[in-house]
Amino acid sequence: MIDPSLMGRLSFAHTQPTKPPLQPGRHSLGIAEERDTFLYVPKGLEEEVAVPLMVLFHGGGGSAEKVAHFLEQHAEQNQFLLMVPQSIYPTWDIVIGGNGPDLHRLNTALAKVAEHYFIDPDRFCFAGFSDGGSYAMSIGLTNGDLVTHVVVFSGGFMSVFMQEGAPHIFITHGLSDEQLPIETSGRPNAQKMKAAGYDVTYLEFNGNHSIQPPIVELAVKFFLTKPANR
């Protein structure tokens, strides 16, 4: 029997917290000595309520620092947790050769967050930029019975061996993307997911391979809208 993790399946499951909430600000989760995952906790987060969680994956050759600042203020204003993992290698394992150590660390990080907060099962998002967008798409569609929203900023490809659930998809891509041309990435990805029956919001913008703050704001609103079918 094939190990489900090799197919990209997470073992994480929602649980009630067993530890007190964390103080506001950034927290290293302590799952790795180098390139640790961190969690951003906004001020004034209500205790004993289901808390929305966005997991944000950086681009190839990137780091948590390069993407977190796009979302931290939104997390503060909209009262959601922001978890930012970092790939073990220069990019995510599926880009290099298949599901492996990054998926394992993602499971561990999610379990750490769940020790302190009950994650809202209706607002649980995987988001990412570039290679991180490819990772969010791939792992999000594979675990769509867990993840409710997938946000893709200029993603490249999908590596999906099995599809579960029906997450809502938000894809945005630049018309002049020089690294991942829109004709071979953003547009066909959106078309494939629409053809597969997913609820897809697709936006193109005048720009290159980048994250656009105005579109980040739209993506946050999309994420915080509870799906009607869950």
- pTM recorded for the entire structure: 0.96
The answer for residues whose C-beta is within 8 angstroms of residue 124's C-beta and 6 or more apart is: 52, 53, 146, 147, 148, 149
What are 161's two structure tokens?
A: 């061996």
Over residues 102-156, the pLDDT tens digits come to 999 999 999 999 999 999 999 999 999 999 999 999 999 999 999 999 999 999 9
Q: Which of 131, 151, 130 is nearest to 193 (CA)?
A: 151
The full set of domains in the chain, from first to last, is 36-42+51-224 (3.40.50.1820)
Over residues 14-45, the pLDDT tens digits come to 999 999 999 999 999 999 989 999 999 999 98
Q: Are strands 119-129 and 81-84 parallel, antiparallel or unpaired?
A: unpaired
The SS3 call for residue 101 is helix
Q: Is 15 exposed, middle or buried (0-12, 13-18, 19+ CB in 10 A)?
A: exposed
Average of per-residue pLDDT values in the chain: 94
Over residues 181-214, the pLDDT tens digits come to 999 999 999 999 999 999 999 999 999 999 999 9
Instruction: Round to whole Å and give the CA distance between 69 and 112.
Output: 22
